[in-house]
Amino acid sequence: MVGLTTSIGFTTEDEIRVQGYRLADELMGTVDFGSMFYLLVTGRLPGHGEAVLFNAVLVALADHGLTPSALAARLTYTGAPEAVQGAVAAGVLGAGSVFLGVFEDTGRMLRASGQEAAHDETEVRRRAKRIVDEYRAAGKRLPGIGHPIHKNGDPRTARLLELAREHGTVGPYIRLMLAVQEEAAASASVPLPLNAGGMCGAVLCDLGIDTSVLRGVAVVSRAAGVVGHLAEEARAPIGRSLWTLAEDVVEYRPLR
């Protein structure tokens, strides 16, 4: 069929190429997985600072306890330990507006502002206020703002900002996201810190990651954590205990 193309990769009898690079000779043993992932989604290898930030994003969201994704994976593994891939899939299928999908939601919010054309602090503040006002007027929750546990500040956010400043990768989207958080918090009655999902979304926008794959980056990151939970489930299972706990604490109340 004429006209179908791909730049990702191809294989011959003698070599494998990915985005123009010889996989075995130029990439294996030379680039880390984060840089390889960046190459796949952007078509180029990252610079040093970009690689540091991209890898930091992947590390930031890999795991933070018995989250819904970890619970879904463990319980699925309890029922089908012979199909670990099914348990991994169960763990990441719930990526959405509450968990893991914040990357994408934040990116769409920021890029919809046309932030790339803003060159001064006054314009950044104006756009941040417009975003907050529009979301509140529509009764919608601002993506990337607030955290149920880290009410006084997400430690991952602080570290990502520190790294971005250190490596000169603070761009217009990070600046806008920081301004959105300040604008939202200034008129709120409860603490509204910038959470890791929001910061990661802004970082990835400044790194040039396309909006359509932002959630995919979060999913790849969390998949590593899910596999870790499954490795632990295999050697020290808690799935059946979680199932029993649910049966013990959830009261059955018939509708009639």
Residue 59 lies in a domain: yes
The tokens for 26 are: 């130029």
The per-residue pLDDT for 98 is 73
Q: Is the pLDDT of residue 118 over 70?
A: no
Strands (DSSP E) found in the chain: 9-11, 16-18, 21-22
Q: Which pLDDT band holds residue 231 (cuts at 50, 70, 90)? A: very high
Query: Which of the pair, 149 or 143, is modelled with greater confidence?
Result: 143
The pLDDT tens digits of the residues spanning 214-226 come to: 999 999 999 999 9
What's the pTM value of the predicted model, to 2 decimals? 0.91
pLDDT at res. 168: 93
Buried b (16+ CB within 10 A) or exposed e, 8-45: eeeeeeeeebbbebeeeeebeeebeebbbbbbebbeeb
- pLDDT band of 34, cuts 50, 70, 90: very high
**Residue 115, in any domain of the structure:** yes
Instruction: Look at residue 26 and tell me if it is in a domain.
Output: no
pLDDT in tens, 44-103: 999 999 999 999 999 999 998 899 999 999 999 999 999 999 999 999 998 877 777 888
Query: Does a structural domain hold residue 21?
Result: no
Domains: count for the chain: 1
136 is a domain residue: yes
Averaged pLDDT of the chain:
92
Q: Beta-carbon neighbour count of residue 112 at 10 Å?
A: 11
Task: Establish if 99 belongs to a structural domain.
Answer: yes
Residue 129's domain comprises 46-256
| Long-range contacts of 126-131, Cβ-Cβ distance < 8 Å, separation of 24 or more | 127/176, 127/179, 128/176, 128/179, 128/180, 128/182, 128/183, 129/183, 131/180, 131/183
In a domain, 193, yes or no: yes
Look at residue 2 and tell me whether its pLDDT is greater than 80.
no
Q: Domain with 229 in it: what CATH number?
A: 1.10.230.10
- Report if residue 137 sits inside a domain: yes
What CA–CA distance (Å, rounded) separates 39 from 8?
A: 9
Residue 16's pLDDT is what?
95
Mean pLDDT of 202-210: 96
